[in-house]
Amino acid sequence: MATNFRISVHRNSENPHLKLMGDFDGISAHELLSVLKRNCNHGSKVFIHTSCLGDVHPFGLSVFHNHLDALKGRSLELIFTGKHALQLAPERPLLFDLTISTVPPSASSERTVLSPSPVRPR
């Protein structure tokens, strides 16, 4: 794992919020997936805040996107916020019960996080 990577987890009502800090590499991607599996219940909205990330390595993105099937069957809505939101949100449509949304950096306050924009397949 990138030596400076950390994930801060807190809950707002029933929704987990994950604040990613430091550099995002392959091992960091596995750590994020592990935290998602441990902290997310069926039907949860999970907010993944990305503004405190430093370098986002292409390999880390690849690992994260290619292993999202580890969340299969959890019926989650992943809402990415912050300056790296579009980068971390997967581009391809997923074949299982995950919904992916992003919130632009200018709108990522607590008031506007409630109306995310869906990611469109490219």
Question: What is the per-residue pLDDT for 74?
Answer: 80
Of the pLDDT bands very low, low, confident and very high (cuts 50, 70, 90), residue 106 is: low
Within-domain flag for 4: no
Structure tokens, 34: 């592990």
Q: pLDDT tens for residues 10-49?
A: 988 788 999 999 999 999 999 999 999 998 877 789 999 9
End-to-end alpha-carbon separation of the chain, Å?
30
Task: Report the number of distinct structural domains present in the chain.
Answer: 1
**Is 8 within the bounds of a domain?**
no
- With respect to residue 1, please indicate whether it lies within any of the assigned structural domains: no
| Strand 76-81 with 45-56, pairing | parallel
**pTM to 2 decimal places:** 0.80
Of residues 1 and 26, more confidence is placed in 26
- CATH code for the domain of 45: 3.30.750
| Inside any domain, residue 3 | no
Q: Which domain range does residue 79 map to?
A: 13-118
The predicted structure's pLDDT at residue 13: 79
Q: Is 82 left (phi over 0), alpha (psi -120 to 50) or beta?
A: left
